[in-house]
Amino acid sequence: MVVALSSPAGPWPAFVTSAPGKVILFGEHAVVYGKTAVAGSLDMRAYALCTPRTDGLARLLLPDISVDATLPFASLPCRASVEQLAHPGDVAGLLAPHVLADYEGGPGRTAILTFAYLCASLVDEAAWAEGFSLCVRSLVPVGSGLGSSAAFHVALATALLRISGRLTAVDALGRKLVDAWAFRGEQVAHGTPSGIDNAVATHGGFLRYTKGAAPQPLGNSAAGGSSSAAGLRMLVCDTHVPKSTMALVAGVRELRDQHTEAIDAVMQAIDSISTRAADLLAAGKPGCAEAERHLAGAVRLNHGLLCALGVGHPALDLVCRVAGQRCMPAKLTGAGGGGCALVLVPAEADEQAVAEVTGELVAAGFACYPTVVGGPGVAMDDFVDGVPVARWVEAAPSELPGGADGQSDLIERFAALPDAALAQLAPRTGT
C-alpha cells in the first residue's frame, strides 16, 4: 500500500459524483426470479470526489471502511483478459496477491476488486498516465439492505466513466451507461444480483423493475415523469442485525429447489402485489386515502410472504408490531434476515404516534431514519452552489486537526468533512 498526496494542479477540475441508496417497496427476492419489484431512492447518498494527479497513480480512499490504496497501472490486469472473464467477480484471479494483501477478509477487499475491475475495463493507459485520486464517502448505512453498495458502485462507475472520457453528461444515455457498469460492480460484490439496486441508484425516483428489462420510471420527477408520485414518507429502521445478501438469496434458491411449486406460488403472489402497487404509483396517487389503504395492505402482505421464503427475523417482526400498533404498516426491505424494515407513514399520520414508534424502536436498539423516498438518482457536479467543487471542499468545515486551514490536500479534507457538510452536496440531475 502506498499513500501519496494528490496534486492540486491537473488537466481537469475536481468533480463530485453522487448516488442514492434505495428501499425496495415490494418484490425483493421474487425479482431474482423474473418477477416485478418496486423500489424508490432514498435521500441518503454516497459521494465520490475525484481529483487529478500528475504521477500516473490511482488512489482509492474509503475512510468509512479504512481503505487507502494506490495502484500503478501495471498492477491492473489487461483489458483483454478482463473482457474474457466468464463473470466480473473472477477478476480476483487476475490480480497480483499483494494488491489485496492488506484487505483480506474485510469489506475493503470487495471495494478494491470492483475498483480494479472497473479501472481495467474503462480507464486506458493514456488517461492513467496522469493519474487520479478518488475518495468515496457514504451516508447510506452499510450492510443494511439500503443499497449502500449500489450507491457506491454508481458513484464510482460515474467517476471512472468521466475520467475515461466516455461520459460527459448525466442524461438518458449517460444513465444507461452508468447503470450497466455499476451492475458489473454489483456482480463483483454480490455474485448474481438482479440489478434493481443499481437501477434505482442510477435513475432515482420510483421504479418498476423486472430483471432483463429496462427499468420503468413510475411518474416521478427524478426519472423524468410528473412529480406527483415523489415523496412517500417513511421511517427506515435499521435493526443492526447483520445479514448476507448472497447467503439469503442462496437460501431462497435452496428452498425453491426443494419446494418449487409452493415457492413459485409465493413468488407469483408477490408479483401481483408489486404489479398493483406499481400501477398505483404510476397513476401518481400514492397519497390519496384509497391508494394509501391499498399500499398499507400490500406492505403487510408482502412482509408475510417474505417470511414464508425464510428471510424474516424476530427483530424485523418487532418493527412490524410496534408500527402496526399505531396503524403504520411495515415490512422488511432488501434481503431480510436482519438489516432494515420500512414503515409507511400515512399522509395524515399523527406526529405523536410517529414519535412514539421512533422512540420504541430506538429503545429496542434500532436506528430510525425519517426519510422521503423518490428523490434524484445519479449526479455529477463540477460546481456546488456556483463554486468549483475544489474551492467548496476547501471552504467547507472539516474535522481535520487544525480545522479549515486550507493547507491540507483536497482528498484528505473531503475524507474529513463532517456528515452534515457532506449532505450539502445536493445532487443536480440532467446536467
Q: Least CB distance from residue 148 to ligand MEV, whole Å?
A: 10
Catalytic member of 43, 68, 197, 271? 197
Binding mask 69-88 for ligand MEV (x = CB under 6 A): --------------------
Q: Stretches 119-127, 188-196, 263-271, 409-417: which one binds ligand MEV (CB under 6 A)? A: 188-196
- Whose Cβ is closer to ligand MEV: residue 200's or residue 295's? 200
Shortest distance, position 31 Cβ to ligand MEV, whole Å: 5
Element (H, E) at 156: helix 148-163
* Nearest one of 227, 309, 236 to 266, comparing CA atoms: 309
Q: How many CB atoms lie within 10 A of CB 40?
A: 29
CB distance 319 to 239 below 8 Å: yes
Q: Is 179 in the site for ligand MEV (CB under 6 A)?
A: no
Backbone angles phi, psi at 191, to 5 degrees: 85, -85
Answer for the pair 358, 343: CB distance below 8 angstroms, yes or no.
no
Task: Tell me whether residue 183 or residue 392 sits nearer to ligand MEV (CB atom).
Answer: 183
Please tell me which residue in 149, 221, 274, 398 is annotated as part of the active site. Answer: 149
- Residue in the block written with cell 456482480: 187
Task: Please tell me whether residue 198 binds ligand MEV under the rule CB under 6 A.
Answer: no
Residue of 249, 280, 295, 393 interacting with ligand MEV (CB under 6 A): 249
Question: Which amino acid, residue 155?
Answer: A
| Of the candidate residues 335, 345, 410, 411, the single one contacting ligand MEV (CB under 6 A) | 335
Instruction: Determine contact, residues 167/181, Cβ cutoff 8 Å.
Output: no
Integer CA distances (angstroms), 308 to 101, 253, 264, 311, 351, in order = 41, 13, 12, 8, 33
For residue 44, state whether it binds ligand MEV (rule: CB under 6 A): no
Q: What is the DSSP string of 162-201?
A: HHTTS-S--SHHHHHHHHHHHHHHHHHHHSS--SHHHHHH
Mark residues 397-416: x for contact with ligand MEV by CB under 6 A, - for none: --------------------
Please answer whether residues 369 and 358 qualify as being in contact, where contact means their C-beta atoms are separated by less than 8 angstroms. no
Q: What does the DSSP 8-state code read for residue 63?
A: G
- Among the listed residues 294, 292, 342, the one whose alpha carbon sits nearest the alpha carbon of residue 316: 342
334 binds ligand MEV (CB under 6 A): yes
> Strands 57-62, 132-138: parallel, antiparallel or unpaired by DSSP?
parallel
- Candidates 43, 68, 179, 197; binder of ligand MEV (CB under 6 A) is 197
Residue of minimal Cβ distance to ligand MEV: 194
Sequential DSSP letters for 357-378: HHHHHHHTT-EEEEEEE--B--
Nearer to ligand MEV, 193 or 217 (CB): 193
Binding part of the chain for ligand MEV, among 25-33, 40-48, 94-102, 231-239 by CB under 6 A, reads: 25-33
Of the CA atoms within 13 Å of residue 262, those in its CB half-sphere come to 12
Verify binding: residue 28, ligand MEV, rule CB under 6 A: yes
Instruction: Give the bridge partners for 20, in sequence order.
Output: 45
- Shortest distance, position 249 Cβ to ligand MEV, whole Å: 5
Residue from 91, 196, 235, 332 that binds ligand MEV (CB under 6 A)? 196
Contact (Cβ atoms closer than 8 angstroms) between residue 296 and residue 329: yes
Return the range that interacts with ligand MEV (CB under 6 A); candidates 8-16, 23-31, 88-96, 369-377: 23-31
Examine residue 193 and tell whether it contacts ligand MEV (CB under 6 A).
yes
Other residues' Cβ atoms within 10 Å of the Cβ of residue 267: 21
Give the cell for residue 278: 406499481
| 245 in contact with ligand MEV (CB under 6 A) | yes
Active site residue 197: yes
75 given a catalytic annotation = no
Closer to ligand MEV by Cβ: residue 17 or 245: 245
Minimum CB separation from ligand MEV for residue 389, in Å?
Answer: 31
Applying CB under 6 A, which residues contact ligand MEV? 24, 28-29, 31-32, 145, 193-194, 196-197, 245, 249, 334-335
What residues are annotated to the active site?
149, 197
